[in-house]
Amino acid sequence: MSFAIIVGVLAVVCLLLFFKIMSFLLKLTVIAVALAAVYWFLAPTMGMPPLALPWA
């Protein structure tokens, strides 16, 4: 195998890993935002302290 083929295969594998990691992080972020939104709306009705806004 030539050096170019090895580098190409390595680049494809790295890109696949990168996209898998970014997909996982995006899903994790969406879940965290959804949980924060649920807490944001339900905490005051359940007598819990609301989320503090850093800009408010």
Residue extents of the structural domains in the chain: 3-46
Residue 40's pLDDT is 87
Residue 7's pLDDT is 94
Helix (H, G, I), strand (E, B) or coil at 29: helix
> Cα(first)–Cα(last) distance of the chain, in Å?
61
Question: Among all chains, which residue has been given the structure tokens 């905490």?
Answer: 43
Residue 56's pLDDT is 61
Query: What pTM, to 2 d.p., does this model score?
Result: 0.69
Residue 1 has pLDDT above 80, yes or no: no
